[in-house]
Amino acid sequence: MTRSLQRRFVAAAMAAVTVLLLFLLGAINGANLFFAHQRLAHTLEMLGDTGGDIGRLPPPQPGGPEHPGMDRNDYDTFLSSNFFVVRFGQEGRVVFADVSRTSQVSQEEAVHLAEEARASGQNEGSSGSFRYLLRENPPFGLTAVFLDTAGEQFSCLRVLALSGGLGLCCWLGMLAVVVLLSKKAIRPIAENIQRQKQFVTNAGHELKTPLAIIRSNAEALELYTGASKWSGRIIEQTVRMDGLVKNMLLLARMDEGAGSARPEEIDFSTLLAEVLEEFAQPMGARGMVLRQEAAPAAAVYGDRAQVRQMLALLLDNAVKHGRDSGEVRVSLSQKDGRVQLWIENTCPVLPDCPPEKLFQRFYRADSARSQKSGGSGIGLSAVRALAAANRARVQAEYLLPDRVRFTVNFPQPGPHRS
């Protein structure tokens, strides 16, 4: 249990750390990408305004007036940019191409890219690592300016790689810290849970003796004075309490790991028939009809005693919470390498809760009826614990209008098991 709590604590803490790191890294890289895009767009606008002619843009003078929309940093960025310019004449033919500011393309490639951009019908766009802008720029006419964005892309990728590596190192460091501190953090919870389990175990063992004495004295009293409704109620409640104590002790053993399964190959069809025979009398006493659909010679892999107890608890639940003169259906089949059992019973009214909640400890959908029938609310919890110990899965579902079905999937024996 301590290890399970420690794993959950570490998982929850690291999930929070992961979300925080992803948010921070996403914000940093998103902001970097946004500002890089803005810088490229601004530089491309300046190139479009000047037609790529730096001579038309004298440098800002210290203390002198600046160009509209441009400061000294913008001018330096302009000078350090890699770009090429292509101009078109009135007939749409290329009349000028300048590739002196880039070594990425030849003059022929520049002309080809410009013609493709013009044919696309879009004034802005991208082609490979270049972003382009088409603009009427007197006195040059239609000018296509292509800005090389490879440097900015590499810069963004570098920031992404560095931040990702740093984030991973931080995550691993936090994982080490959380693992080291987890035992200390969960110690009070683990000790409290352990004390609760110990209390349940001790109380269960202490209750068994007085319950046996009360029941034997009540039965002895009936021998001397005859049966009465008071002695009958005493015996009935002691039987109910004895079942409750046994289920509590079973859950305590399963939680402590003392109920570990000793798996073996089981003739499940025979075992199911034996348990059904034991419940024939309780079903008959309530006028219930049993319908079986059992597959012949079905075998499962599990602890025989625990599987038998699980079947008994499921059938006991069907009898206690089923409708008088109702129906109990039991089906056993083999499918996809597993043995599937479902037990279905009619009930006066479907529980007003999700089916999964039926497995919650001490939960009773109808407290008054459960009290009357002897239900304690932990039988199905014990079923789930036994199923988990034997690598089986159990689930509940409602079938309209008045049926509850419990389905258990068992592993079949295989050559890899011993």
Residue 275 in tokens:
């348990």
Q: How confident is the model at residue 290 (pLDDT cuts 50, 70, 90)?
A: very high
Q: Residue 57: is its pLDDT beyond 90?
A: no
pLDDT for residue 395: 94
The H or E element that residue 133 is part of is: strand 130-137
- More confident: 413 or 270: 270
Residue 141: closest CA among 98, 89, 91: 89
Per-residue pLDDT tens digits for 309-352:
999 999 999 998 899 999 999 999 987 778 999 999 999 888 88
Enumerate the β-bridge partners of residue 126. Answer: 131
3-state secondary structure of 96: strand
What's the whole-number mean pLDDT along residues 19-43? 93
Find the distance separating the first CA and the last CA of the chain, reported in whole Å: 27
- More confident: 397 or 193: 397
Q: How confident is the model at residue 418 (pLDDT cuts 50, 70, 90)?
A: very low
The answer to whether the beta carbons of residues 44 and 145 sit under 8 Å apart is yes
Rg (C-alpha) for the chain, rounded Å, is: 40
Residue 118 in tokens:
């013009």
Percentage of the chain lying above the pLDDT 70 cut: 87
Backbone dihedral region of 310: left (phi > 0), alpha (psi from -120 to 50 degrees) or beta? alpha
Say which residues have a Cβ less than 8 Å from residue 202's Cβ, sequence separation at least 6: none
Determine the Cα–Cα distance for residues 129 and 121; give it in Å rounded to an integer: 20
The answer to whether the beta carbons of residues 98 and 85 sit under 8 Å apart is yes
The verdict on whether omega for the bond into residue 60 sits within 30 degrees of 0, i.e. cis, is no
